[in-house]
């Protein structure tokens, strides 16, 4: 049964890491090493990294002790432009949205979750931003955002993005990584051009099997030779009608934390495929082997495993489509209700499929009631649902939601455990009381 993981399982933020092991943190974050008298100095790359984070030089950096974190870091609003999100980590910035703040059919920009892998680029201006399209193409191209707008059809689509680790906090035994609960998901109106149109103009050569994506964010270590993430998708997915190169979100520019000024949006697949701060797309005749494409990153075992079981590396396969899922956005867990009907509502989605039905239970799954289900705004958008229910007497109730998709696959009650904590699509449950 799903349970809440203790806070100690959550990844540590910048200050906690420095408090626990200042020397290791110095080296990992800033490339800084400490003398025996505990007074540190910065290597060139580390000094540049810290200076970039502060936005200026540090004249007396040689006097900074090991484990020292500039107070300006503590005062910086790392979630600027976001409202009510829960910060899971501050380096890189990762934050989720409580379910009740996802109640709107379309997720507003200030409520859209943040999943970063590296350091946000210093320059996110659209002026001078260029995207290179190369690799196995007939006509390599370098395009400005103005070029994208003028040379290709501009479209707006409601598209769902979800982190592959959404729900990881409920794994037992725990899985390492950001301890997302329910809120690493959102559905926004994205504006951009179809990736398929751009690739078609570039000329996809025979033998292409995969795309490769690169962004302008930098590695946490400050090492310019390392990339924080560079993933890709099959060429078949890339040529889908709803995979977009995006420069707008909900009628305005993309927020910086969500990839401004240019990003990919690949609905139905793990959010990691939707490269932020997009600078390059190249085509390959092999499966892309960029950062977080190999090993066990964004991969699950190719067979069921018992909780805690060791899995050989060769038995992991790349995650493609995300599983069927539903979310209750009203009422919120902990709500006290009066003895009258309550409208239970939320959203449901399922990778590259649509939702056929959503059922609600108030008696721990003994009986189920069909919810009213809307059609998707377009393919790739989540579907909104609602159901008026009456809780018959005073006491504690759990409201459960269970979605079934167009392939007749339903959400399970229990988590299908895997070592990396991906793809938790167990039924959503909220607990309420009737006075």
Environment class of 364 (CB within 10 Å of its CB; exposed 0-12, middle 13-18, buried 19+): exposed
DSSP state of 119: B
> Range of 229's domain?
97-318
35 and 175 share a domain? no
| 230 and 132 part of one domain | yes
CB 368 within 8 A of CB 411: no
Q: Residue 80: inside a domain, yes or no?
A: no
Please indicate, yes or no, if residue 30 is contained in any of the structural domains: yes
CB 404 within 8 A of CB 352: no
Q: Is residue 92 in some structural domain?
A: no
The CA-atom distances, in angstroms, between 78 and each of 75, 81, 116 are 9, 9, 12
User: Which among 116, 147, 117 has a CA at the least distance from the CA of 129?
Assistant: 147
Whichever domain contains 402, its CATH number is: 2.60.40.650
**Taking the C-alpha atoms of 308, 311, 317 and 319 in order, what is their torsion angle to the nearest 10 degrees?**
10
What does the alpha-carbon distance between residue 428 and residue 183 come to, in Å, rounded to a whole number? Answer: 12
pTM given for the model: 0.84
221 with 31: CB under 8 angstroms?
yes
Give the pair of three-digit tokens for residue 334: 């902990």
Joined together, the tokens standing for residue 150 give: 């003028």
CA dihedral 248, 251, 257, 258 (to 10 degrees): -50
Q: What is the CATH number of the domain that holds 251?
A: 3.90.420.10
**Quick one: CA dihedral 45, 49, 50, 54, positive or negative?**
positive
Task: Answer whether 164's CB lies under 8 Å from 422's CB.
Answer: yes
Looking at the structure, do residues 340 and 314 belong to the same domain, yes or no? no
In a domain, 87, yes or no: no
Quick one: which of 167, 113, 177 has its CA closest to 4?
167
Residue in 366, 332, 326, 323 with CA at minimum distance from that of residue 347: 326
Query: Whose CA is closest to 318, among 280, 287, 361, 358?
Result: 287
192 and 209 together in one domain: yes
Beta strands in 69-153 (DSSP E): 86-90, 93-96, 114-115, 130-135, 141-144
How far apart CA 74 and CA 54 sit, in angstroms, is: 11
Which are the contacts of 15, defined by CB distance < 8 A and separation ≥ 6? 69, 73, 74
Q: Is there a single domain that holds both residue 289 and residue 151? A: yes
Give domain status of residue 117, yes or no.
Answer: yes
CB 391 within 8 A of CB 338: no
Residue of 383, 382, 385, 409 lying closest to 399 (CA atoms): 385
Residue 7's SS3 state is helix
Q: Per the domain annotation, does 65 fall within a domain?
A: yes
Q: Which of 265, 293, 318 is the last residue of a domain?
A: 318
Q: Which of 30, 64, 22, 67 is nearest to 46 (CA)?
A: 30
Cα distances (angstroms) measured from residue 323 to each of 262, 333, 338, 349, 411 = 27, 24, 35, 8, 8
- Considering the domain boundaries, does residue 90 fall inside one? no
Check whether residue 310 and residue 345 sit in a common domain: no
Please tell me whether the peptide bond between 431 and the residue prior to it is cis, using omega within 30 degrees of 0. no
Are 29 and 49 within 8 A, CB to CB? Answer: yes
| CA–CA dist 106, 28 (Å, integer) | 39
What is the per-residue pLDDT for 40? 40
| Bridge partners (DSSP) listed for residue 431 | 398
Decide which of 41, 75, 109 is a domain's last residue.
75
Cis, bond preceding 118 (omega within 30 deg of 0): no
Say whether both 250 and 216 belong to one domain. yes
Do 63 and 129 have their domain in common? no
**371, 417: one domain:** yes
CA-CA distance, 169 to 152, in Å (whole number)? 42
309 and 331, same domain (yes or no):
no
pLDDT at 38: 33
Domains contained in the chain, number: 3
DSSP lists the bridge partners of residue 345 as: 330, 386
Rg (CA), the chain: 23
Residue with tokens 């990396």, as numbered in its chain: 420
Q: Are residues 116 and 141 in the same domain?
A: yes
**What is the full per-residue pLDDT of the chain (435 aa) written as tens digits?**
444 433 334 444 554 555 555 555 555 555 544 433 333 434 444 566 666 556 566 777 777 665 555 655 544 478 889 999 999 998 899 999 999 999 999 999 999 999 999 999 999 999 999 999 999 999 999 999 999 999 999 999 999 999 999 999 999 999 999 999 999 999 999 999 999 999 999 999 999 999 999 999 999 999 999 999 999 999 999 999 999 999 999 999 999 999 999 999 999 999 999 999 999 999 999 999 999 999 999 999 999 999 999 999 999 999 999 999 999 999 999 999 987 899 999 999 999 999 999 999 999 999 999 999 999 999 999 999 999 999 999 999 999 999 999 999 999 999 999 999 999 999 999 999 998
């Amino acid at each position: 049964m799903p349970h809440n993981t203790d806070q100690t399982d959550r990844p540590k933020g910048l200050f906690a890491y420095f408090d626990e092991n200042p020397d290791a943190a110095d080296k990992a974050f800033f490339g800084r090493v400490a003398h025996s008298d505990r007074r540190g100095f910065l290597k060139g790359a580390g000094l540049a990294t810290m200076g970039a984070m502060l936005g200026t030089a540090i004249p007396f950096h040689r006097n900074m002790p090991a484990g020292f974190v500039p107070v300006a870091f503590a005062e910086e609003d790392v979630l600027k432009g976001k409202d009510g999100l829960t910060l899971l980590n501050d380096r890189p910035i990762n934050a989720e949205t409580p379910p009740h703040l996802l109640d709107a059919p379309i997720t507003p920009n200030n409520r859209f979750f943040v999943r970063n892998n590296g350091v946000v680029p210093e320059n996110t201006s659209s002026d001078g931003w260029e995207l290179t399209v190369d690799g196995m193409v007939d006509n390599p191209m370098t395009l400005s955002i103005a070029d994208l707008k003028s040379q290709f059809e501009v479209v707006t689509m409601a598209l769902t993005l979800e982190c592959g680790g959404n729900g990881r906090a409920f794994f037992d035994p725990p899985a390492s990584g950001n301890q997302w609960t329910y809120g690493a998901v959102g559905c926004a109106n994205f504006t951009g051009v179809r990736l398929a149109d751009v690739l078609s103009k570039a000329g996809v050569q025979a033998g292409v099997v995969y795309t490769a994506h690169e962004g302008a964010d930098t590695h946490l270590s400050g090492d310019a030779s390392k990339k924080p993430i560079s993933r890709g998708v099959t060429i078949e997915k890339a040529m889908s009608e709803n995979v977009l190169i995006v420069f707008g979100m909900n009628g305005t520019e993309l927020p910086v934390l969500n990839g401004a000024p240019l990003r990919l949006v690949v609905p139905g697949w793990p959010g990691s495929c939707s490269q932020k701060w997009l600078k390059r797309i190249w085509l390959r005749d092999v499966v892309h082997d960029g950062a977080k494409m190999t090993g066990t990153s964004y991969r699950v075992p190719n067979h069921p495993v018992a909780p805690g079981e060791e899995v050989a590396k060769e038995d992991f396969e790349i995650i493609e489509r995300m599983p069927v899922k539903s979310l209750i956005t009203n009422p919120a867990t902990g709500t006290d209700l009066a003895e009258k009907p309550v409208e239970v509502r939320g959203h449901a989605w399922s990778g590259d499929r649509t939702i056929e039905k959503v059922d609600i239970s108030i008696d721990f799954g003994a009986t189920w009631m069909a919810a009213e289900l809307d059609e998707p705004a377009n393919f790739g958008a989540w579907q909104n649902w609602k159901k008026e229910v009456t809780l018959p007497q005073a006491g504690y109730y759990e409201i459960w939601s269970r979605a079934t998709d167009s392939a007749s696959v339903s959400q399970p009650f229990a988590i299908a455990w895997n070592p990396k904590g991906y793809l938790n699509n167990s039924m959503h449950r909220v607990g309420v009381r009737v006075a």
